[in-house]
Amino acid sequence: MSSNNFEGFFENPDHPEIAKNEPPPQKIVEALAVMCSQAPNWYTKPVMRMIAHGVCSKIAGIVQDALDEGTRPEIHPAWAAFLMLIQERLITSYEQYADDEEREAYPLDHDENDPPQD
């Protein structure tokens, strides 16, 4: 038996150490803010786009779970507004910068009545 508590950490999403080491929502959003501020053209880079999608998806799940439980989501309204801006940037730059992996993982569902994206 190994004494390494993190053996298989990244290969197993159900690893018991993951839940103990998951940062609070605020820290997840702050990390995204740092990434975006350090690379102002983050939305042109496929890896950074996927990170932004992942963060937005994770926080959306956290917020939805809180609302389903009838509790207040653990995210400041200013950070929620920041995430809305990030989502807007992802959507408006989707056609130009989204690669095949992003298009498969995060497809845009356009309604034919929606105005065209610039």
Can you read off the two tokens belonging to residue 70? 């009838």
The pTM for the full model equals: 0.76
pLDDT of residue 12: 75
Domain boundaries, the chain: 23-102
Q: Which of 30, 19, 20 is nearest to 75 (CA)?
A: 30
The position carrying tokens 């408006």 is 92
pLDDT of residue 21: 76
pLDDT mean by block of 10 residues, the chain; 118 residues: 65 73 89 95 96 95 93 90 96 95 87 56
Give Cα 115 to chain centroid, integer Å. 25
Tens of pLDDT, residue by residue over 52-84, are 999 999 999 999 999 999 998 888 999 999 999
